[in-house]
Structure 1
Amino acid sequence: MYYLPMTSPTPMTPVDLFLLGRTLMKIGEDALPAPQVGAAPHPGSVRSILIALSDIAAHPDSAIGEIARRTGLPQSQVSTAVARLRETGSIETAQDPTDRRRLLVRTAATPSPRVTEVRAAGIEDALTRALATTDEQVLAEVTAALTVLARHLPPAALSRLRP
């Protein structure tokens, strides 16, 4: 019996990686619990809010301009994200004692109900929809791969990329 030789999969290209990142971002957005019914709509994308919040958690007592510089988001998007996060009780702001024109931002000492809700959410349902399967082995394999990627590529890894 003749078998074709095993070939290695095609190496991932930058475009493949970019599109995978976009797919993962959309799955993450789908997995986030919807805001409470009756909650006022907020401007700003989930993406910019999560990017800003991640930076605020990593760099407490930062000014909006510093957050914008580190994240690469426009200052207006950071300001919108900070306003929304403040309204939900996820962050606290205080005047900078050295420059009263600046606000310093930090995560709230006590997690807001929304932060608690988001932290408790799982990815299983969104992953099942994206993969179009309920095969437990496939779901476990993909979840394990995502866990490895998250361990090796935390948000701080972005700071090591070129500006």
Structure 2
Amino acid sequence: MNGVELFLLGRTLMKIGEEALPTEGLGDQPTNVRTVLIVVSDVRAHPGSAIGEIASRTGLPQSAVSAAVARLREAGAIITEPDPRDRRRLLIQPAPAISGRVEQIRSTSIDATLAKVLDTDDPQRVAEVTALLEKLTRHLTPQALTRLRD
């Protein structure tokens, strides 16, 4: 495998993940799912960060980070609090408890989406691919990216 193949695999996996996420009841959203997931991943890796710091680390525009933070706060996935050193800034933390919406998202199976992508109705094949993805997930965590950047 080379870097291009890995990049394309990653992009394919992101698209499959986006498709598998439940969207019912959300209405129109100003931010896309990918941006929200990038922000939540960064917040989990760097709790207590300000919006500008998240934008700097992720390469996302500050306006996109602000919109994602608002969406995540509304969903109960994060909390914000004023920075005690500069009350104009908000510090973002993962929520101490998992909200109903976050629980719904985390508990939604990818099986139907994988079956569609794999063009199969064989549950054994879907389970096999799911097991491979779970193994990759254990090895390639979001925290692993910090080692890449060091």
TM-score normalized by structure 1? 0.84
Note the 1:70-81 alignment, pairs <5 A: 70-81=57-68
**What is the distance in 1 between the residues matched to 2:132 and 2:95?**
32
Deviations 1:85-143 (A, max 9, x none): 11222211110001112100112223222101101111111110010012233222211
Counterpart of 1:97 in structure 2 is 84
Counterpart among 19, 24, 29 of residue 35 in structure 1? 24
Q: 2:136 aligns with which of 130, 146, 149?
A: 149
2:140 matched to 1:158? no
Q: Following the alignment from structure 1 to structure 2, what is the Cα–Cα distance between the partners of residues 90 and 162?
A: 26
Q: What residue identity is the alignment partner of 2:98?
A: P
SS of the counterpart of 1:133? coil
1:126 aligns to 2:113 (yes or no) = yes
Q: Identity, % of aligned pairs?
A: 59
Q: Tell me how far apart the structure 1 counterparts of residues 64 and 134 of structure 2 sit (CA, whole Å).
A: 29
Give the aligned CA root-mean-square deviation in angstroms.
1.7
* Letter of the structure 2 residue corresponding to residue 128 of structure 1: A
* 8 A Cα contact 1:70 1:159, kept in partner: no
- Corresponding residue number in structure 2 for 1:136: 123
**For this pair of structures, how many residues does the alignment match?**
150
Q: Is the 8 A contact 1:63 1:102 kept in 2?
A: yes
* Residue 25 (structure 1) shift: 0.7
What stretches of structure 1 move > 4 A for 4+ residues in a row? none
Correspondence 1:12-23 to 2 at 5 A: 12-23=1-12
Give the Cα separation in 1 of the matches to 2:135 and 2:97.
Answer: 29
**Which residue does 1:117 correspond to in 2?**
104
Summarize the Cα distance change of 1:125–1:35 in structure 2 as closer, same or farther, 3 Å threshold: same
Segment of structure 1 superposing worse, 144-153 or 109-118? 109-118
Higher helix proportion (structure 1 or 2): 2
Q: Under a length normalisation based on structure 2, what TM-score does the superposition of the two structures give?
A: 0.91
Mark the CA change 1:131 to 1:40 in structure 2 (over 3 Å): closer, same or farther.
closer
Show structure 1 runs of 5+ residues with no match: 1-11
* C-alpha distance in 2 between matches for 1:61 and 1:80: 18
Q: Deviation of residue 48 (structure 1)?
A: 0.8
